[in-house]
């Protein structure tokens, strides 16, 4: 059984540490460690899940984790990783966001030992004068400007940085101090874009408490194109099933490019080192089998949504290109086809009979009626995943799934959903 430090190293989760000596302490257990999550949306996303999984690894190794919701810092906004000022949230919106993420902060942890806290409890009671005297006096503007999150904004004179966001790192330092004093927290973890904020907290505690505490960052989670998993990027994968369905999450990870399978298996799963290494080999030697992607998708969906959803996702995935698609529930059918383009057609046209040739042309699956005929004759046309070869084929009411949808496909991947208009 690997130690915690060995496990973190194997998974590539140690990016920076304030003191390498902390790694030995990690293996002894008994520390209190925290990670913070600002409520900038009503759900966390896969990028946030890296810290939640890391907190769980600490708990499994005998440490006490704290998930800290940023009810106070969320009013300000962290400039880290951003090239322009964040939009300010109203108290009402922030409150709704907090309600959305609270269950997610706790679902990865054993709450008989872990703590779920909100920094608005102490930050809302901190007066301006107290903040300036008790926190601000311990840092120079020179130090703050040198932090990467601030420096990059200074290099963009068209954007700059407001005093509000400039002060964010001091609020986070104060968070660490309060958690240290009130709960015995000695370690803060976060993504590499939090390094400047974390080191400010370490220094602040040293100055005001004369105690040694530590910080550790993990790499940022990136997609294959190098972009960050974030709420402002395209293709966000949310933990809330109302925003990203379990099937869409399953498909996202199942479609992971080979180069990213290994890192994601290490970041987001609790598979053993041996299991991951075996999947590394299989992905390299038999990439067409997609064993690594399948194991990744299963593990992530199980962790976030439970085993029952994994079974539904795999059933739907099998039906995606099979005639079993007709047996899917309406919700699952919509989840399976949510990325496919669709066209609304008059219900009467289905009642009267719509030729497959016309359907393919109207949906854009064929550029012309002639191309549609050739596709059908060549066996490349499908209706509800059943192959068609009759150019005289007519779509009628019996083809409607759930009395509204017909899935028309050209070849393996070109899918289009015809939706009969409701009357």
The CATH number of 246-319, from 1.10.8.60, 3.40.50.300, 1.10.240.10, 1.25.40.20, is 1.10.240.10
**Torsion-angle region of 226 (φ positive above 0: left; ψ -120 to 50: alpha; else: beta):** left
What architecture does CATH give domain 342-420?
Roll (3.10)
- Strands 394-395 and 386-388: what pairing? unpaired
Place of tokens 């199980």: 302
Work out the end-to-end distance of the chain between its first and last CA atoms, rounded to an integer number of angstroms: 63
256 vs 239: CA distance, rounded Å:
17
Sheet containing 32-37, strands listed edge to edge, beginning at the edge strand earlier in sequence:
16-17, 214-218, 187-191, 32-37, 64-69, 115-118
**23-55 residues labelled b (16+ CB within 10 A) or e (exposed):** bebbeeeebbbbbbbbbbbbbbbbbbbbbbbbb
CATH no. of 4-218 = 3.40.50.620
Place of tokens 């009626």: 369
Q: Which of 74, 57, 55, 51 is nearest to 65 (CA)?
A: 55
Predicted TM-score (pTM) of the model is: 0.83
In residues, how long is the chain? 423
Q: Which residues pair with 215 in a beta bridge?
A: 188
Place of tokens 């294959």: 224
Per-residue CA distances from 46 to 60, 103, 199, 252, 335 (Å): 21, 15, 25, 11, 19
Q: What distance separates the 2 farthest-apart alpha carbons in the chain? A: 84
* pLDDT one digit per residue (tens) for the chain, 423 residues: 899 999 999 999 999 999 999 999 999 999 999 999 999 899 999 989 999 999 999 999 999 999 999 999 998 887 765 655 667 788 899 999 999 999 999 999 999 999 999 999 999 999 999 999 999 999 998 888 887 777 777 776 666 788 888 899 999 999 999 999 999 999 999 999 999 999 999 999 999 999 999 999 999 888 777 777 654 444 688 999 999 889 889 988 998 999 999 999 999 999 999 999 999 999 999 999 999 999 999 999 999 999 999 998 888 887 777 778 888 889 888 888 887 889 999 999 999 999 999 999 999 999 999 999 999 999 999 999 899 999 999 999 999 999 999 999 998 778 899 999 876
Domain ranges of the chain: 4-218, 246-319, 342-420
């Amino acid at each position: 059984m690997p130690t915690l430090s060995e496990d973190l190293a194997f998974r590539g989760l140690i990016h920076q540490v304030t003191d390498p000596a902390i790694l030995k302490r990690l293996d002894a257990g008994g520390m209190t460690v925290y990670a913070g999550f600002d409520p900038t949306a009503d759900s966390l996303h896969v990028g946030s899940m890296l810290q939640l999984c890391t907190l769980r690894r600490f708990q499994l190794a005998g440490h006490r984790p704290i998930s800290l919701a940023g009810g106070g810092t969320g009013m300000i906004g962290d400039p880290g990783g951003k090239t322009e000022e964040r939009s300010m949230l109203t108290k009402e919106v922030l409150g709704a966001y907090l309600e959305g993420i609270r269950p997610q902060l706790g679902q990865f942890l054993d709450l008989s030992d872990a703590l779920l806290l909100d920094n608005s409890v102490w930050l809302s009671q901190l007066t301006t004068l107290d903040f300036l005297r008790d926190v601000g006096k311990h840092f120079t503007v020179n130090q703050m400007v040198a932090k990467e999150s601030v420096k990059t904004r200074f290099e963009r004179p068209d954007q700059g940085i407001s005093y509000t966001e400039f002060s964010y790192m001091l609020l986070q330092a104060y968070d660490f101090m309060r958690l240290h004093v009130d709960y015995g927290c000695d370690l803060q973890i976060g993504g590499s874009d939090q390094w400047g904020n974390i080191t400010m907290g370490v220094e602040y505690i040293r100055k005001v408490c004369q105690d040694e505490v530590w910080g550790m960052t993990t790499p940022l989670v990136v997609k294959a194109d190098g972009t960050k998993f974030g709420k402002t990027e395209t293709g966000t994968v949310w933990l809330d099933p109302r925003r990203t369905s379990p099937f869409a999450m399953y498909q996202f990870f199942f479609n992971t490019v080979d180069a990213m399978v290994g890192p994601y298996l290490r970041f987001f799963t609790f598979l053993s080192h041996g299991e991951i290494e075996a999947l590394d080999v299989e992905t390299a030697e038999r990439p067409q089998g997609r064993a690594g992607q399948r194991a990744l998708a299963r593990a992530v969906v199980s962790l976030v949504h439970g085993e029952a959803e994994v079974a539904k996702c795999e059933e739907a995935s099998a039906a995606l290109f099979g005639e079993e698609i007709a047996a899917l529930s309406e919700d699952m059918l919509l989840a399976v086809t949510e990325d496919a383009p669709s066209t609304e057609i008059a219900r009467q046209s289905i009642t009267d009979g719509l030729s497959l040739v016309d359907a393919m042309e109207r949906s854009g699956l064929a550029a012309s009626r002639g191309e549609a005929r050739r596709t059908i004759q060549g066996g490349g046309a499908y209706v509800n995943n059943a192959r068609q070869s009759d150019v005289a084929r007519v779509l009628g009411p019996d083809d409607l799934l759930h009395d509204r949808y017909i899935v028309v496909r050209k070849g393996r991947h070109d899918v289009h959903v015809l939706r009969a208009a409701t009357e």
